[in-house]
Amino acid sequence: MKTFFLQTVPNIVNPELSLREKLDVTVRNTGNYFFETAVKKQLSGMEVISSFNELPKGADKLVLSMSNFMSPHTDLGPIADNIERLNVKQIVMIGAGAQANSYTEEVKLTKGTERFLKVIANRSETIGVRGNFTNNLLEEYGVTNGEVIGCPSIFMNLDRNFKVNKSALPNSPKLVTHYTPTGHYRDNIAHINNFAIENCESYIAQSEVDLLSAVEKKVEDKDIEYMFGYYNNGKYSKREFRDWFHENTKWFFDIDEWFSYMAQVDFSIGTRFHGNMGAIQAGTPALNLVFDTRTRELCEYLNLPTMFLDEFNGEHTVDELYEKADYGLFNASYSHKYDKYVDFLNKNGVSHNLGEADSEVSSYSLNPVAQKNIVDLLSSIEGKEVNDKLISDYLRSRVRGDRAYEIRKLAEKGEYGLKTI
């Protein structure tokens, strides 16, 4: 049985390409390199193709890694056409995501994308999705074999014992930042721009076409209105922003170079998931500023430290922001998420390099009674002041497993737990 992987972002093999040309190759977002590179590193025994023209008819298995494709603005009907035309027997979708401004926003898919979902659902054991928001959306469209696995980039290290070890910041820490330009958070992004000038050694760009001119020194005053005028609360001039971004913006088109740079950084803060993932994979703490479903569902599933973007008001010190980047929950739950990903690949018959999962961890699921009790508690105390430790102790007790049947029987016979006086 032969497995094919559709790589949508080709490697840049011509170093003579301009910055603009390199960005075009990435489909205008360097983050696209990230998860596809992760998949190629994780999977084994597959043939990489760059288009459906390279896929033979009746192919046994096709791996797709597509991030936030489920939105009102995408039409994946042509991909569904190709899958049906070529009669692909099995599809393995890794890291599918839905894009909306908030969990409460309705996502109305195009007819083409809706048909694409039906096509892959009928050819998939399970569909690997980024988080529970996407999984709920699948169910709304009648697709019931979704499975939450996060993003493959978080498991790029191939180490189920991976941890982010956080140490004290040095006196003069090296900080980086990044964001997705969006007018809905114009005020907060203006604060990030100020924060960048005052605290950061670089800005990690991914898709900001407006920054290309600044980096290439081709910006005239009339051309800097958007990035440096629109996201500006008056603390610094447009020209001051232009000069800082010209000197300090970094683009990465090679994953190893990206990681190598981030390993020299002390702290990363911003809205870009892969901007922060570059830091995390290099062992550098990062704080995710979430503002839409794309990053929020991923961060919540993976237990990454987050702060809502609308809370970034320009008043926090670096130390206060760094304190929020607590990786205790992420480190404690990482092996479980890793094993779930391994279990997903195994179920879908995909050969991989991630090793074996811990069967006890991968098979654990929270009792539905406990889930309902936790939801009921949290909804009933919303907006009320309650001691954090009390809530923590309650949640810990609700997810605690009961005594196993074998231990109960041993205790019943006096062969477990009794102490001799």
In a domain, 135, yes or no: yes
The pLDDT of residue 260: 97
Residue where a domain stops, chosen among 265, 295, 326: 326
Whether residue 19 sits in one domain with residue 142? yes
Whether residue 145 sits in one domain with residue 30? yes
In a domain, 162, yes or no: no
Whether residue 148 sits in one domain with residue 179? no
* Measured distance CA(153)–CA(150) in Å, rounded: 9
| Torsion angle defined by CA atoms of residues 102, 105, 110 and 115, in that order, rounded to the nearest 10 degrees | 80
Whether residue 230 sits in one domain with residue 108? no
- Our measurement of the distance from residue 27's CA atom to the centroid of its chain's CA atoms, rounded to an integer in Å, reads 18
pLDDT tens-digit series, residues 302-352: 999 999 999 999 999 999 999 999 999 999 999 999 999 999 999 999 999
Whether residue 180 sits in one domain with residue 131? no
In a domain, 400, yes or no: yes
In a domain, 304, yes or no: yes
pLDDT tens-digit series, residues 260-299: 999 999 999 999 999 999 999 999 999 999 999 989 999 9
Whether residue 307 sits in one domain with residue 195? yes
In a domain, 358, yes or no: no
The residue segments making up the domain with residue 139 are: 3-155
Whether residue 418 sits in one domain with residue 304? no
Residue where a domain stops, chosen among 101, 123, 155: 155
Whether residue 149 sits in one domain with residue 184? no
In a domain, 335, yes or no: no
- Sheet of 3-6, strands arranged across: 46-49, 3-6, 61-64, 90-93
Residue where a domain stops, chosen among 326, 358, 393: 326
End-to-end CA distance of the chain: 63
Residue closest to 325 by CA, chosen among 288, 277, 292, 296: 288
Whether residue 217 sits in one domain with residue 287? yes
Task: Write out the DSSP string of 36-47.
Answer: HHHHHHHB-SEE
Whether residue 149 sits in one domain with residue 40? yes
The pLDDT of residue 389: 86
pLDDT tens-digit series, residues 323-332: 999 999 999 9
The CATH number linked to 189 is 3.40.50
Greatest Cα-to-Cα distance within the chain, rounded to the nearest angstrom: 88
pLDDT tens-digit series, residues 96-151: 999 999 999 999 999 999 999 999 999 999 999 999 999 999 999 999 999 999 99
Whether residue 387 sits in one domain with residue 320? no
Residue closest to 388 by CA, chosen among 295, 310, 326: 326
Whether residue 194 sits in one domain with residue 116? no
pLDDT tens-digit series, residues 172-183: 999 999 999 999
pLDDT-derived band of residue 362, with 50, 70 and 90 as boundaries?
low
pTM: 0.90
User: How many domains, in total, are found in the chain?
Assistant: 3
pLDDT-derived band of residue 221, with 50, 70 and 90 as boundaries?
low
